[in-house]
């Protein structure tokens, strides 16, 4: 993993496996965490009004999104109870992130060291936990699909920060079936935020039971996406869902190889472009 400096001065990595950066280099790593995830999910407002907030950090990576979440929530309400459930397939990434300079977020490193130093079990997936007063963190080390299936508790998340690598290289975490699992885990009034503006992603969220809206444009021209079971999908987004290019990724078993997931979608798009009825495709 190569260290890269982003626009706001914070450091991120370039993934050797996916050849993509873990964070937006044009927005800045910590700026993106706050602007694209914390603010759209209104975690400060929830902390101020209810005094407790639970986050599902979908793809923990360097841990910056969780750091920004903790900082945002406890700045809004220092006595708030905060809980994070997260998953990450490569433990080396957060461990390596501890070697970087986090700037004003350095104060959160002891919590992360405590989390990464306390492995409590290996089944159903390797699990690390940290608990101190009103702060509780759990990190599952597994592929995202295996991780979400291992979470038995339902409708617990006030916010979901969905931050995998792009659908182009990591399609298995952008499928209708995967979003259906996230729908199972989010509260009825909870909010999911993701950086992606792709119409197939938005359609998959809509199919999975989320109302979908445009989010913010930070570090790029296209606007991110926010979704919630309590939202109505915006009409201008619905209008695009009938296009062949809007066909979502599918992974019926939540275990299929990424190349199969990609090729299945590509085949469906070609069939739709020939004007075949949608029911003949699925």
Give the residue among 165, 197, 219 at the shortest CA–CA distance from 34. 219
Question: For the residues of 197-264, what is the DSSP string, one character each?
Answer: --HHHHHHHHHTT-EEEE---SSSSS--EEEETTSPPPHHHHTTTTSGGGPPB--TTS---HHHHHHH
User: In the chain, how long is the greatest CA-to-CA distance?
Assistant: 59
CA atoms within 13 A on the CB side of 13: 20
Right CATH for 25-243 from 3.40.50.150, 3.90.1150.10, 3.40.50.720, 2.40.10.10: 3.40.50.150
Q: Is the pTM of this model over 0.85?
A: yes
Question: For the residues of 153-212, what is the DSSP string, one character each?
Answer: --S-EEEEEE--S-TTT-GGGSBHHHHHHHHHHEEEEEEEEES---HHHHHHHHHTT-EE
Evaluate the omega torsion of the peptide bond into residue 84 and state whether it is cis, within 30 degrees of 0. Answer: no
Distance CA 186, CA 155 (A): 4
Distance CA 247, CA 235 (A): 18
Write down the domain spans for the chain.
Answer: 25-243
Q: What residue has token string 């007063």?
A: 133
Q: Which pLDDT score is estimated for 278?
A: 52
Q: Which pLDDT score is estimated for 218?
A: 78
Q: Which pLDDT score is estimated for 105?
A: 97
Q: What is the mean pLDDT of each run of 10 residues along the chain (282 residues)?
A: 95 96 94 97 97 98 98 97 98 98 97 97 94 96 97 98 98 98 98 97 98 87 92 97 95 97 95 66 48
């Amino acid at each position: 993993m190569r260290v890269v400096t982003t626009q706001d001065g914070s450091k991120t990595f370039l993934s050797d496996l996916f050849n993509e950066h873990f964070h937006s280099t044009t927005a800045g790593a910590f700026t993106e965490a706050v602007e694209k995830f914390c603010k759209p999910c209104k975690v400060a407002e929830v902390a101020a009004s209810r005094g407790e907030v639970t986050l599902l950090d979908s793809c923990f990576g360097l841990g910056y999104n969780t750091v920004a979440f903790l900082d945002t929530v406890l700045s809004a309400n220092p006595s708030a109870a905060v809980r994070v459930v997260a998953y990450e397939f490569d433990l080396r990434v957060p461990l390596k992130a501890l070697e970087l300079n986090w700037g004003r977020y350095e104060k959160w490193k002891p919590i992360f060291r405590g989390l990464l130093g306390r492995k409590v079990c290996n089944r159903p997936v390797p699990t690390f936990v940290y608990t101190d007063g009103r702060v509780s963190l759990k990190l599952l080390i597994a592929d995202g699909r295996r991780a979400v299936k291992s979470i038995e508790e339902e409708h617990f998340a006030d916010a979901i920060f969905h931050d995998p690598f792009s659908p182009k290289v990591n399609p298995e975490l952008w499928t209708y079936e995967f979003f259906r699992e996230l729908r199972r885990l989010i509260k009825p009034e909870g909010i999911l935020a993701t950086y992606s503006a792709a119409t197939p992603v938005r359609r998959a969220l809509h199919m999975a039971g989320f109302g979908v809206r445009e989010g913010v444009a930070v570090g790029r021209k296209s606007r991110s996406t926010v979704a919630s079971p309590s939202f109505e999908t915006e009409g201008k987004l619905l209008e695009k869902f009938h296009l062949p290019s809007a066909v979502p990724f599918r992974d019926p078993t939540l275990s299929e190889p990424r190349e199969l997931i990609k090729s299945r979608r590509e085949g469906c798009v070609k069939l739709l472009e020939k004007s075949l009825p949608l029911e003949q495709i699925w």
